[in-house]
Amino acid sequence: MRRWHRWLSVFFAIVMIWVAITGLLHYVVVWWPTGEPTAEQIAAVAPPPGFVCPEGWRCIAPSPEATNNPLRPYLGLFHHLHAGSEGGIWGEIIVMLSGLALVFFTVSGMWVYYQMWRNRKAKGLKKGLFWK
């Protein structure tokens, strides 16, 4: 198990760093502070007079604050990079496998730690959950 944990981590570390960075950039865009919206921006997001949302649909106009965000045009790009969509089907497969790798690394890491703890306990070395 330890060997698989080591070898797979080399590849998936790169992908997970990519996913983490693009996810952070996505939230930087979403949470970027904006000033007060102008009257034109408020009018631009308001539905036209007489508009009625079709039955069974959920119609949401973007908030004026969102239209005032200078980074907002990059939101879709960061989302596609984060999801692997820009890499086609192979990019999406790699990102999906990275998600599965997180589960594998969590379980295998706990298993490796348990084995090391059990071996230290059997040899009578320093007790406790954490050691140096």
Q: Where are the domains of the chain?
A: 2-37+61-123
Quote the CA–CA distance of 42 and 62 in Å, as a whole number: 10
User: What integer pLDDT is reported at residue 132 of this predicted model?
Assistant: 60
- Residue 90's nearest CA partner among 20, 15, 13, 5 is 15
The pLDDT tens digits for 71-93 are 878 888 888 888 888 889 998 89
The pLDDT tens digits for 88-118 are 999 889 888 888 988 988 898 888 888 888 8
* pLDDT at residue 32 tops 80: no
